[in-house]
Amino acid sequence: MTTVKKELSEEELKEFEIYQSLRPYIGHCLVLNHDLNNPLTGIIGYSEFLIDDETISDELRSSVKQILKSA
């Protein structure tokens, strides 16, 4: 196996150092993203279902549209 070494520019070295310092937090961000997206998927899906329901009032439809806009 051959190892190739590359000289890093000052900018690349800074980016690498920033990445290394943030590395412990990246996993937590992925978990947080997953924990937020799961319930949001249900909220969005149910809201889309309600929007298509012709029996709901205009007031309720307006509220559901706001939910979709916010989600």
Residue with structure tokens 């298509």?
Answer: 52
pLDDT band of 5, cuts 50, 70, 90: low
Q: What is the mean pLDDT of the chain?
A: 86
SS3 for 54?
A: coil
In terms of residues, how long is the chain? 71
Taking residues 44-68, what's their average pLDDT?
Answer: 93
pLDDT at 45: 93
Higher pLDDT, residue 6 or 36: 36
Cβ(21)–Cβ(41) below 8 Å: no
pLDDT band of 10, cuts 50, 70, 90: confident
Q: How far apart are the C-alpha atoms of 4 and 10, rounded to whole Å? A: 19
70: nearest Cα among 50, 49, 40, 32: 40
Residue with structure tokens 């309720």?
Answer: 60
